A = this chain, B = another copy of it.
Amino acid sequence: MSAPLLELSDLLGPKGLQATDDPQVAPWLQDWRGRYRGRPLAVASPEDHDQVQATLAWSRRHGIPVVPQGGNTGLVGGATPDTSGGQLLLSLRRLCRHLTIDADNQTVCVDAGCTLQQLQEAANAAGWLFPLSLGSESQCTVGGVLATNAGGVQVLHYGTARDLCLGLAAVLADGSSFSQLGGLRKDNTGYDLRHLLIGSEGTLGVITRATLKLFPRPARVITAWLQLESLEAAVHLFRLARQALSDVLTACEVMGPEALNVVLEQMPERLSALPDTRGWHLLIDISLPSWAGEGDGAIEWLHAQLEAGRLRRALVAQDLRQAQALWAIRAAIPPAQSRDGLNVKHDIALPVSALPRFHTACAHALESLVPGARPVVFGHLGDGNLHYNVRAPRGESPADFRARHEGTVNRCVHDLVTAHGGSISAEHGIGSLKADALAHYKAPAALAAMRSIKRALDPLGLLNPGKVLVPD
């Protein structure tokens, strides 16, 4: 072991440092989708804030870059070291001893290494809701969801990870640290470092603990599946739903025809609850507080939309089992796509009002580019966030399609997203995968300001180098 590693081993104790050939750490050296594979110097697993601080001070003393990692569930290669053998992989998994609920403040203070599911369960056990909900919730960590500003299916009402966070403890690149964990709803004492660190993907600092908002648990959730003529009709109905239902509309997912086609082809059993898979579909949750009884008024509103011809069909789940069956259709889209083979993925956001004209323009442009290519459109309508994944033309090999067309399809979609005022990364972040695209699409002044901030807070470029910002 080199002198710097011996020193780090002394700082972190026997469980705190592992060699890269340790079988326990093998899965951490690549991203879970297998697109990025790294070879770090070693793997550090500090057990608390002070050990994280010691690790970053060590990094600075020796000029050794650090790549922070939570649950390693990211989709953009943001937590995988490079292959130089010179970067330290900093796993935050052991930071999971502290979780305290402050009921009168309606907050929870939790270590960065706790999983999202542990947090959800602790909140639930105390009679509260922690609303962030993701496919990877059993593995992803609190620190990771904050560092990437994760989203999910309840953002419409409860917001992204950013919106749920009232305070952080963090270590900066120079080894200094601050802790503002009081869970204050208002604090206008200077620049908001919390929001600067959230979404910075470990390039500006390492989050060690956070204070997050808790919410009252709904007394009853009504789940409904709505079938519509078009994306335009879906956008219009969403507006009416928000105006009429207001805050009890807590989820509004959209699925286009091709998204249900993939499920029909690969996992048809999931669709048994649906009499008709044609057209566009919304899956909504109406979350009622205890004082609202059965929510008859909300159900009446749905019926009125049906009578007014704004819906083809509405299925209202009559019990939890039916609600779960409807959500299982939505949840089937990603695995059905995996079975279907490779496609060209996008995680985009647009103004909700621009979704129909964006989709029309994009489908048209893709047809010109690769005749027969099929956009699989689904996502979070209320957030303007589509997972706009382009599937090979019928009969063509998915792998060939992706190998030949990924670059041009990405460019086509991202150009049109930008032209419609949208974002090329709605909720997955930039990491390695989109760092070049960010350099291309981000406004030059914003990119320059980001670079200035990075240089100011990490002048030696030691925190997650090459992620988010490519070298000048």
Contacts and interface: CB of A to CB of B under 8 A. Distances in A.
A352 B184 CA distance: 8
Interface stretch (A186-194, A256-264, A359-367): A186-194
A384 B350 contact: no
B456 A452 contact: yes
Given A183-B351, A449-B457, A189 B245 contact: no
A45 interface: no
Interface in A214-252: 215-216, 218, 235-236, 238-239, 242-248
A445 B169 CA distance: 11
Indicate the member of A248, A292, A423 with the most B CB atoms within 10 Å. A292
A181 interface: yes
A468 interface: yes
Nearest to A469: B190
Interface in A431-452: 434, 438, 441-450, 452
B456 A453 contact: yes
A155 to B, nearest CB: 7
A216 B106 contact: no
Nearest to A187: B423
A48 interface: no
Interface string A363-388: 00000000000000000101111000
A444 B186 contact: no
Given A245-B289, A353-B105, A456-B455, A450 B193 contact: yes
Contacts of A162: 192
A143 interface: no
A185 B349 contact: yes
A319 interface: no
A428 interface: yes
Interface size range of chain A in the complex: 35 or more
A443 B192 contact: no
Interface stretch (A17-25, A294-302, A306-314): A294-302
Given A192-B196, A239-B103, A186 B151 contact: yes
A384 B183 CA distance: 10
Interface in A88-116: 102-107
Indicate the member of A187, A204, A448 with the most B CB atoms within 10 Å. A187
A298 B292 CA distance: 8
A462 interface: no
B289 A293 contact: no
Contacts of A196: 191-192, 195-196, 453
Given A103-B239, A178-B446, A191-B199, A185 B247 contact: no
B189 A430 contact: yes
B246 A185 contact: no
A352 B104 contact: yes
Indicate the member of A295, A353, A430 with the most B CB atoms within 10 Å. A353
Given A186-B426, A289-B247, A297-B292, A178 B105 contact: no
Interface of A: 102-107, 127, 148-149, 151, 155-156, 160, 162-163, 172, 176-193, 195-196, 198-200, 204, 215-216, 218, 235-236, 238-239, 242-248, 289-293, 295, 297-298, 300-301, 349-354, 380, 382-385, 420-430, 434, 438, 441-450, 452-457, 468-469
The 4 closest A-B pairs by CB, nearest first: A291-B297, A182-B421, A195-B195, A104-B353
24 contacts: A103-B239, A104-B352, A105-B351, A155-B185, A178-B446, A178-B449, A179-B443, A183-B351, A184-B384, A185-B384, A186-B384, A187-B426, A189-B424, A189-B430, A190-B446, A191-B199, A191-B454, A193-B446, A193-B449, A195-B195, A216-B243, A247-B247, A291-B298, A453-B457
Given A186-B427, A189-B441, A189-B442, 4 more contacts: A182-B350, A244-B290, A245-B291, A291-B297
